[in-house]
Amino acid sequence: MQQFAELVRHGPANEAERLWLLDTHRRRVDAQAVGLVLGLCCAALLAGWSWPSS
């Protein structure tokens, strides 16, 4: 995000690069969130938790 802030300080001419950085960051955060959810699900199963059926 420091690189993003630096690009912002340089003005609007680098908008495409800023959008690329934000999208890359979002994808990384999304992947981390998926990993956390999967880890939680595995831990819950190992602990014997169960989910209510829908």
pLDDT mean values, one per 10 residues, the chain (54 residues): 90 94 96 95 89 72
How confident is the model at residue 51, as a pLDDT? 73
How confident is the model at residue 14, as a pLDDT? 94
How confident is the model at residue 54, as a pLDDT? 66
Domain ranges within the chain, ordered by starting residue: 2-46
* CA distance readout (Å), 33 to 26, 29, 36: 10, 6, 5
Q: What is the pTM of this model?
A: 0.70
Q: Give the contacts of 18 (CB within 8 A, at least 6 positions apart).
A: 4, 7, 8
End-to-end Cα distance, the chain: 41
